[in-house]
Amino acid sequence: MSHHLKDFNNKLVLVTGAGSGIGRATALKFADLGAKLVICDRHLAALEETAQLLIQKDNYPVLEIADVSDWQAMQWLADRVHAQHGVLDVLVNNAGVASSGDFLSTPIEDWRWLLDINVMGVVHGCKAFGAKMAERKSGHIVNLASMAGYYAAPEMAAYSASKHAVMGLSESLRIEFAEYNIGVSAICPGVINTNIVNVMRAHGAAEQAQAKIADIYRKRNYGPELVAEAIVGAIIHNRAVVPVSPEAWAMYAGKRFTPSLIDVVQRSKPFRKLKDYAQKH
């Protein structure tokens, strides 16, 4: 049996972190393709905003408040979805948070917060919904990693560690779940214009640079809709790893073919001076 999911009409799709950014754009994209949607977020107001946009497309989603870092809550969510709507065709583990700052300035509490959401949140989603997919022997799981999942930038140790973990999990599950005809894809966005920078936890020099970084993301204006399109393409073609944006592709190629060169560039004085200048201006 081979993985084939090319038509999303009336397929059951669940998106976590659907209240904004990539999650919202992904829900809207699947609505355009005729999917039945379950949208999840921790914030009801944001989720209701997404729902209103979906209703304008004549798509009437199921709204679920869920904290992906809470295993019991995710089990209850899966029980409700399976009882009321059936087994998922597509699971998009999108919910995530960000942090920045040098390693010594980042408190352990922030590590736990970030890993609970970015790593265990994905584990919980895969575990809660994957078993029923395996019983049915079909489906697709999409895990939102990041360019930071293969390009470990300085002053982003916690975030990079979490996204490297998502990459490793996705790679392992892709092999395990293939026998159940379940595809697994890791999506790796680069600089995408969402609200994640504004709400990230920043420490040390990164705290002063936070507004500037957010401005760079806004001016770049590479929208979450492009990530949503990449997610759909990853499912249709059953792709393992999908970088999204030119810099994500450049770093992916660089780390694969010239990893030592990337490290040298990052450590070089011109690169560090450029980074210092960007933080100060």
Quick check: 25 pLDDT over 60?
yes
Give the mean pLDDT of 19-43: 97
Out of 159, 180, 217, 222, pick the active-site residue: 159
For each of the domains in the chain, give its residue range(s) and CATH number, in order of start: 12-246 (3.40.50.720)
Closest C-alpha among 175, 174, 80, 95 to residue 132? 80
pLDDT for 207 equals 46
DSSP string, 13-52: EEESSTTSHHHHHHHHHHHHTT-EEEEEES-HHHHHHHHH
Whether 180 sits among the annotated catalytic residues: the reply is no
- Average pLDDT score over the chain: 85
263: enclosing H helix or E strand = helix 259-267
User: In terms of pLDDT, which residue wins out, 169 or 198?
Assistant: 169
pLDDT range class, residue 217, cuts 50, 70, 90: very low
pLDDT for 5 equals 85
Q: Which residues of 176-192 are buried (b: 16+ CB within 10 A; e: fewer)?
A: ebeebbbbbbbbbbbbb
